[in-house]
Amino acid sequence: MNKTIRNTIIYIVLTLVSITMLVPFIWMFLTAFKTTAETMQVDPFVIVPKIWQTQNFGNVIRAMDFVRLYINTLSMVALRILFAVVTATMSGYAFARLEFKGKKVMFAVVLLQMMIPVQIFIIPQYIMVSKLHLTNSIMGLVFPGVVSAFGTFLLRQAYMQLPKDIEEAARLDGCSIPQTFFFIMAPLTKSAMVALGIFTAVFAYKDLMWPMIVCPDNRATTLASALAKMNGQYQQKYPELMMAALISCVPMIVIYIIFQKQFIEGIATSGGKL
């Protein structure tokens, strides 16, 4: 097929999918600058705000201590990424590449954890945190994310995908297991680590229930939970809700853009035959 035609088709497909993905965002953006009455009006719809209510931005910003919320949120996200990536890389490697007694049972436990709905953990974990007097603290926020079954499984799959002969070569060179892991294998799964980092960040960032319960104090909580509280039980201020949602998206998008650049192009080894 002609390359230009092919590229054109690719771009058309990508653009169409992009539009579908973006419609809700465009609407969020427009809503963020409307009056409450405009967001409720249905007949006819107000698509573009008559007067851009730029003060909505100020209202949201002023309603809370953003600097503090960002520090809390980023500390939690950073610590969770650190814990998850470190523990999951080690365990993922062990499950993929080492043979030891008890491995199958332990891996079953890892899978089992993912099968349980998270809601059942909330109350027991809250009790642990409050017994440790970690409520309203960063460690309290990080608590359920110190290890990651999801990450372990993800990294295990990544190691499984790597050609075996790299490792064989290292072993013949006299590398011990930790040396092989640290210097040879772990760097090759960087993309998976990045993916795990992205997901850990996103899931930690979006989670409302845990920070809401563990850090009810507005000074100690995360951005997402502070924003969620802004709307009263009966008072839906849609423009401010959307403005808040937009503001809270931004750091995640930045993190994602930085991270996804780390997707390194395929490793240049001559893997063995399949």
Which residues, numbered 113-172, are part of the site for another protein (CB under 8 A)?
Answer: 113-128, 130-137, 139, 142-144, 146-150, 152-154, 157-158, 160-164
Among 93, 170, 200, 222, contact with another protein (rule: CB under 8 A): 93
* DSSP code, position 63: T
Enter the tokens of residue 156: 């295990």
Identify which of residues 55 and 269 has a Cβ nearer to another protein in the complex: 269
How far apart CA 193 and CA 209 sit, in angstroms, is 26
Enter the tokens of residue 162: 């790597």
Identify which of residues 67 and 178 has a Cβ nearer to another protein in the complex: 178
Determine, following the binding rule CB under 8 A, whether residue 71 of this chain makes contact with another protein: no
Determine, following the binding rule CB under 8 A, whether residue 187 of this chain makes contact with another protein: yes
Determine, following the binding rule CB under 8 A, whether residue 40 of this chain makes contact with another protein: yes
Distance in Å, CB of 44 to another protein, minimum: 9
Interface pattern 1-30 for another protein (x via CB under 8 A): x----x---x--xx--xx-xxxxxx-xx--
Determine, following the binding rule CB under 8 A, whether residue 260 of this chain makes contact with another protein: yes
Q: Give phi and psi for 42, each to the nearest 5.
A: -125, -15
Task: Give the residue ranges of DSSP H helices in the chain.
Answer: 3-31, 36-40, 55-62, 66-97, 103-115, 119-131, 138-142, 149-161, 164-172, 177-179, 186-188, 190-206, 209-214, 223-230, 238-260
Identify which of residues 48 and 257 has a Cβ nearer to another protein in the complex: 257
Determine, following the binding rule CB under 8 A, whether residue 175 of this chain makes contact with another protein: no
* DSSP code, position 182: I
Determine, following the binding rule CB under 8 A, whether residue 69 of this chain makes contact with another protein: no
Distance in Å, CB of 67 to another protein, minimum: 19
Which residues, numbered 94-113, are part of the site for another protein (CB under 8 A)?
Answer: 94-95, 98-103, 106, 109-113
Identify which of residues 67 and 274 has a Cβ nearer to another protein in the complex: 274
Determine, following the binding rule CB under 8 A, whether residue 232 of this chain makes contact with another protein: yes
How far apart CA 145 and CA 223 sit, in angstroms, is 17
Closest CA to 81 of 212, 259, 267, 218: 259
Determine, following the binding rule CB under 8 A, whether residue 49 of this chain makes contact with another protein: no
End-to-end Cα, the chain, rounded Å = 29
CB contact set of 207 (below 8 Å; sequence gap of 6+):
222, 224
